[in-house]
């Protein structure tokens, strides 16, 4: 009997009964599973990143990844196109969190990261292939099997959009343009020889902060708070809360996670000792909102359980509370929005502010942000009581 | 047998435990409460008598002589015992109740003193009339003079509460948008405990208060001294922390910049027997506990937990508050 004829008769025999057919399929599945197990157990597969994937397999993985992202990404576009405040905040974080693997204008991809599989792409060539929502989804959630991490804090979509805004700007940037965005124009005074020799220099740490918060000048984005002259205890407390993950911010957790207690003290002292930078953010235009905010800040709304803001955020309050006068309106609004969304409520000072912020309506939050933004920044180290 | 004796002991001790005079309607401390207690005893006695008659009839209806069983089973018995008797008894009781209770509602003659009590979740805001017409804020511990008639003007700031101090009178609801007035008079000095008697949310069970009935002279002196700032000694650090931490945005302390009205007034908090609306005894440790972990004492209360304070700072603030007597 020829081979063909034998296969034909066997398949007829199998199809002749449901039982035989099901048993044959079950056996096939079992054999398949056993094969997969053997494949892994015997170490047949070479997991070396150095050998790369077969071209076909690589294309298949990419095909699957692209379709998965497209299927899941939101349809949203950037909230405001060409918003420099978003771009600058995103640039500062890109330099801290992304540039090591993805490189940046004037800074090649790290040779270590370049040998990852798949190798992290140069994003200036890639971002054009994705819609805003798709970039947002990738930045927020990361990519399985590719080594691309998700955003440290999944609740802070506002921060993710800042990075997307920067990525849109990235292809146009040359080295100078990139450094201007990511570092600002700030130069730090060189540390003493002793500090460099003992490795105790605060320069790196301050440099990392100054990228967004400025040092001689103020922050270069309205989404970033002015730290100049804030009480030292408040600054140190905030850094500890970010480092411990009890205050939600992907950007600040990244920046604060590897600070030593000594560096935290140094940084807090440094910013507490700076005098207020010249204001560059625009004053709130809505005078009526400022007036409503002033009433709220001075008297609160007792019937709603809202205490007067100035009792804790005025010049003579505890040094563990922030001074809000002169902060950018968009930063204040963003923080109030985070409180009201149920974030930032686990650190010691967060436990005080969170329940109060949740009693504010959206309109009250906007009014009070306008009021504080319109006030002249307080003088250096306003803290009333020594700790 | 042993089992029965154990049961007897348990029942006896539990029922005796209810015989404390604290927060008991059966231990009246004033006329109004006395009338209510009198009415209660009438009800108990009457209900007991009726129970005996009903139980007796039941036994007779099953085991009694033929004639009696027929009489009890007839329509006449039902008309008399089931309609006429209840109508007459209840009508008499209603008349008796209205007559006895007329004093608590008939506010024809003015009271000696009007004190405003506002129910909040979950504490009592108290406001005494000052001698100069101003209002003196206090909380959770009501002080009244013995032998004077007092009108408690009851409001609520949020949901329905009910004001009930059983030793001094009946309970009266605090209803949003309404002002109810309860007249009380204490005949003998003492401490009378009361409780919110209408479910008002999560910590309802932790909303109690105490009424301290004191001699009229003592009360007058207390009221006058309450108008003036009463600051203790050696509490500057605690006072400074209290102000700098923003406590004054919610709590008032007369004679200091603290003028908040959101939470209980603390002008005399150190002199109260209890904290957190008669929930925990007043002590520095419990003050520290409420300031730093208040949500575990009274879940859902409006005050954030102030864990920003170090232990030393907590002690300083608590010492300051304890000094306010």
A305: nearest CA partner in chain B: B262
Token pair in block for residue B46: 């009457």
Interface probe for A, chosen from B158, B250, B259 (most Cβ of A below 10 Å), is B250
DSSP A87-156: HHHHHHHHHHHTHHHH-BTTBPPPHHHHTSSSPPP-HHHHGGGS-HHHHHHHHHH-BTTTTBPPPS-TT-
Q: Check whether residue B162 and residue B252 sit in a common domain.
A: no
How distant is the Cα of B111 from the closest Cα of chain A, in angstroms? 30
Which of B293, B303, B304 to mutate to test binding with chain A, by most A CBs within 10 Å of its CB?
Answer: B304
User: Any idea which of A279-283, A298-302, A367-371, B77-81 has the lowest mean pLDDT?
Assistant: A279-283
B260 and A307: CB-CB below 8 Å?
yes
- Asked if A355 lies within 8 A of B248 by C-beta distance, the reply is no
Residues B123 and B200 in one domain: yes
Nearest CA distance, A151 vs chain B (angstrom):
29
Lowest mean pLDDT among A284-288, A297-301, B77-81, B133-137: A284-288
pLDDT at B15 over 80: no
- pLDDT for A11: 86
Lowest mean per-residue pLDDT among A378-387, B127-136, B271-280, B292-301: A378-387
On the question of pLDDT at B107 being above 80, the answer is no
Q: Given B179, B201, B226, which residue is the final one in a domain?
A: B226
* Residue of B245, B302, B307 with shortest CB distance to A351: B307
Got the DSSP string for A49-92? GGG---HHHHHHHHHHHHHHHHHHS-S---SSTT-HHHHHHHHH
- CA within 13 Å, CB half, A89: 23
**CB spacing of A312 vs B262 below 8 angstroms:** no
In a domain, B95, yes or no: yes
Answer whether residue B5 is part of any domain: no
Q: Chain A within 8 Å of B62 (Cβ-Cβ)?
A: no
Cβ distance A302 to B261 less than 8 Å, yes or no, reads: yes
B304 Cβ under 8 Å from any chain A Cβ: yes
Say if residue B137 is in the same domain as residue B209. Answer: yes
Please state at what angle helix A132-141 crosses helix A55-72, rounded to 10 degrees: 100
- From the list A307, A352, A385, the residue facing B240 with the nearest CB is A385
Q: Which residues of B touch A308 (CB under 8 A)?
A: 249, 260
Residues of B in contact with A384 (CB under 8 A): 244
Contact between chains at B308 and A312 (C-beta distance less than 8 A): no
Looking at residue B96, what is its pLDDT?
86
- Note whether B175 and B143 are same-domain residues: yes
Cβ pairs bridging A and B (under 8 Å)? 58
Asked whether the beta carbons of residue A300 and residue B240 sit closer than 8 angstroms, the reply is no
Same-domain status, B259 and B280: yes
Q: Which residue of B has its CA nearest to A238?
A: B308
Please indicate, yes or no, whether residues B134 and B193 belong to a single structural domain of this protein: yes
Question: Is residue B129 in some structural domain?
Answer: yes
> In sequence order, which ranges of A273-357 are alpha helices (DSSP H)?
287-299, 310-313, 329-340, 348-357
Q: Is B124 inside a domain boundary?
A: yes
Within a domain: residue B8? Answer: no
- Least confident piece of the model among A42-46, B213-217, B230-234: B230-234
- A238: closest CA of chain B, how far (Å): 12
Residues of chain A positioned with their CB less than 8 A from the CB of B304: 351-356
Model confidence pLDDT, tens digit, residues A143-173 = 998 999 999 999 999 999 999 999 999 999 9
Whether the Cβ atoms of residue B122 and residue B302 lie closer than 8 Å to each other: no
**How many domains does chain B fold into?**
3
Average pLDDT rounded to a whole number, residues B10-19: 53
Q: What is the pLDDT of residue B32?
A: 84
- Using a CB-CB distance cutoff of 8 angstroms, which residues of chain B are in contact with residue A246? none
User: Is pLDDT of A381 > 90?
Assistant: no
Would you say A352 and A200 are in contact if contact means Cβ atoms under 8 Å apart?
no
B261/chain A closest Cα distance in angstroms: 6
Residues B83-91: contacts with CB within 8 Å, 24+ apart?
B89/B46, B89/B50
On the 0-12 / 13-18 / 19+ scale of CB atoms within 10 A, B239 is buried
Give the model confidence (pLDDT) of A257-287 as tens digits: 888 899 899 899 999 998 888 876 667 678 8
Element (H, E) at B124: strand B123-129
Contacts B261 to A, Cβ<8 Å:
302
Domains along chain A? 76-183 (1.10.760), 199-272 (1.10.760.10), 287-374 (1.10.760.10)
ipTM above 0.90, yes or no: no
Q: Cβ distance A318 to B241 under 8 Å?
A: yes
CATH number at residue B311: 2.60.40.420
In-domain check, residue B12? no
Are residues B144 and B192 both part of a single domain?
A: yes
Asked which of B195, B226, B257 is the last residue of a domain, the reply is B226
Question: Is residue A380 very low, low, confident or very high in pLDDT (cuts 50, 70, 90)?
Answer: very low
B140 and B194 part of one domain:
yes
B209 and B307 fall within a common domain: no
From CA A351, how far away is CA A343, in angstroms rounded? 10
Pairwise CB contact (< 8 Å): A316 & B244: yes
| Local structure of B64: helix, strand or coil | coil
At residue B5 the predicted structure's pLDDT band, cuts being 50, 70 and 90, is low
pLDDT tens digits, one per residue of A294-309? 999 999 999 999 999 9
Q: Nearest-CA residue of chain B relative to A317?
A: B244
pLDDT tens digit sequence for A94-149? 988 899 899 999 888 988 999 999 999 999 999 999 999 999 999 999 999 899 99
- Residue ending a domain, among B203, B226, B249, is B226
B249/A contact by beta carbon, under 8 A: yes
Q: Which residues of A touch B299 (CB under 8 A)?
A: none
Same domain, B135 and B101: no
What does R_g of chain A's alpha carbons equal in angstroms? 28
Residues of A in contact with B245 (CB under 8 A): 312, 317-318, 321
Query: In terms of domains, do B212 and B132 share one?
Result: yes
Q: Average pLDDT for residues B27-52, to the nearest whole number?
A: 90
Q: Is residue B92 part of a domain?
A: yes
Q: Do A352 and B249 touch (CB under 8 A)?
A: no
Instruction: Using an 8 Å CB-CB cutoff, list chain A residues near B250.
Output: 307
Spell out the long-range contacts of A45-52 with Cβ–Cβ below 8 A and sequence spacing 24 or more. A49/A115, A49/A116, A49/A117, A50/A115, A52/A117
What pLDDT is stored for residue A12 in this prediction? 87
Q: Do A312 and B304 make contact, defined as CB atoms within 8 angstroms?
A: no
Contacts of A324 in chain B (CB under 8 A): none
State the Cα–Cα distance between residues B271 and A276, nearest whole angstrom.
46
Verify whether the Cβ–Cβ distance A307 to B246 is below 8 Å.
yes
pLDDT for res A281:
61
Task: Point out the least confidently predicted range of A53-62, B232-241, B299-308.
Answer: B232-241
B241–A351: do the CB atoms touch at under 8 Å? no
Eight-state DSSP code of residue A301? B
Domain span at residue B50 reads: 22-105
- List pLDDT tens digits, range A227-238: 999 999 999 999
Same domain, B72 and B153: no
Question: Is B246 in Cβ contact with A321 (below 8 Å)?
Answer: yes
CATH number for the domain that contains residue B47: 1.10.287
Interface of A with B (CB under 8 A): 237, 300, 302-303, 305-308, 311-312, 316-318, 320-321, 348-349, 351-356, 384-385
pLDDT of residue B161: 97
């Amino acid at each position: 009997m020829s081979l063909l004829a034998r296969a034909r008769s066997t398949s007829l025999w199998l199809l002749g009964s449901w039982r035989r057919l099901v048993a044959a399929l079950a056996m096939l599945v079992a054999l398949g599973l056993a094969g997969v197990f053997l494949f892994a157990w015997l170490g047949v597969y070479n997991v070396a990143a150095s050998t790369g994937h077969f071209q076909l397999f690589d294309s298949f993985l990419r095909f699957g990844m692209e379709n998965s992202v497209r299927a899941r990404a939101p349809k949203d576009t950037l909230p405001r196109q060409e918003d420099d405040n978003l771009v600058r905040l995103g640039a500062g974080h890109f330099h801290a969190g992304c540039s090591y693997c993805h490189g940046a204008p004037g800074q090649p991809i790290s040779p270590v990261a370049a040998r990852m599989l798949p190798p992290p792409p140069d994003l200036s060539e890639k971002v054009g292939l994705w819609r805003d929502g798709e970039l947002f989804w990738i930045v927020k959630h990361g990519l399985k099997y590719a080594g691309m991490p998700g955003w440290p804090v999944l609740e802070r979509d506002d921060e993710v959009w800042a990075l997307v805004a920067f990525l849109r700007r990235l292809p146009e940037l040359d080295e100078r343009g990139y450094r201007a965005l990511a570092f600002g124009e700030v130069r730090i005074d060189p540390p003493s020889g002793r500090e460099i020799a003992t490795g105790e220099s605060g320069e790196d740490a301050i440099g990392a902060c100054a990228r967004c918060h400025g040092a001689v000048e103020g922050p270069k984005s309205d989404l970033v708070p002015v730290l100049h002259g804030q009480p030292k205890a408040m600054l140190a407390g905030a850094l500890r809360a970010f480092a411990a993950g009890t205050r939600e911010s992907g950007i600040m957790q990244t920046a604060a996670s590897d600070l030593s207690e000594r560096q935290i003290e140094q940084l807090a002292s440094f910013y507490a000792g700076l005098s207020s930078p010249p204001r560059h953010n625009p004053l709130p235009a809505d005078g009526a909102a400022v007036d409503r905010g002033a009433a709220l800040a001075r008297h609160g709304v007792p019937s709603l359980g809202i205490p007067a803001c100035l009792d804790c955020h005025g010049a003579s309050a505890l040094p563990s509370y922030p001074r809000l006068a002169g902060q950018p309106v968009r930063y204040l609004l963003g923080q109030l929005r985070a409180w009201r969304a149920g974030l930032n409520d686990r650190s010691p000072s967060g436990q005080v502010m969170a329940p109060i912020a949740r009693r504010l309506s959206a309109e009250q939050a906007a009014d009070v942000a306008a009021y504080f933004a319109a006030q002249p920044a307080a003088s250096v180290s306003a803290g009333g009581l020594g700790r | 047998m042993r089992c029965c004796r154990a049961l007897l002991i348990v029942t006896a001790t539990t029922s005796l435990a209810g015989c404390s005079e604290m927060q008991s309607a059966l231990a009246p401390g004033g006329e109004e409460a006395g009338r209510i207690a009198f009415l209660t005893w009438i009800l108990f006695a009457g209900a007991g008598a009726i129970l005996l008659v009903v139980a007796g009839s039941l036994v007779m209806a099953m085991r009694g002589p033929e004639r009696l069983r027929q009489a009890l089973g007839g329509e006449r018995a039902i008309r008399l015992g089931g309609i006429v008797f209840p109508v007459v008894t209840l009508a008499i009781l209603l008349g008796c109740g209205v007559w006895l209770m007329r004093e608590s509602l008939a506010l024809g003659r003015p009271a000696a003193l009007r004190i405003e009590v506002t129910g909040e979740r979950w504490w009592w805001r108290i406001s005494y009339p000052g001698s100069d017409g101003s209002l003196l804020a206090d909380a959770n511990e009501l002080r009244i003079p013995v032998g004077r008639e007092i009108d408690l003007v009851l409001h609520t700031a949020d949901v329905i509460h009910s004001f009930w101090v059983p030793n001094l009178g009946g309970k009266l609801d605090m209803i949003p948008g309404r002002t109810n007035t309860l007249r009380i008079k204490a005949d003998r000095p003492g401490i009378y405990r009361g409780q919110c008697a209408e479910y008002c949310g999560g910590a309802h069970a932790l909303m109690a208060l105490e009424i301290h009935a004191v001699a009229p002279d003592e009360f007058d002196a207390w009221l006058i001294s309450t108008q003036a700032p009463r600051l203790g000694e050696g509490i500057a650090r605690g006072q400074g922390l209290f102000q700098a931490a923003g406590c004054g945005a919610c709590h008032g302390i007369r004679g200091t910049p603290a003028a908040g009205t959101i939470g209980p007034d603390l002008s005399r908090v150190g002199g109260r027997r209890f904290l957190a609306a008669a929930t925990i005894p007043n002590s520095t440790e419990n003050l520290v506990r409420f300031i730093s972990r208040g949500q575990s004492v009274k879940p859902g209360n409006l005050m954030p937990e102030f864990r920003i304070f170090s232990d030393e700072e907590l002690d300083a603030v608590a010492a300051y508050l304890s000094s306010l007597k």
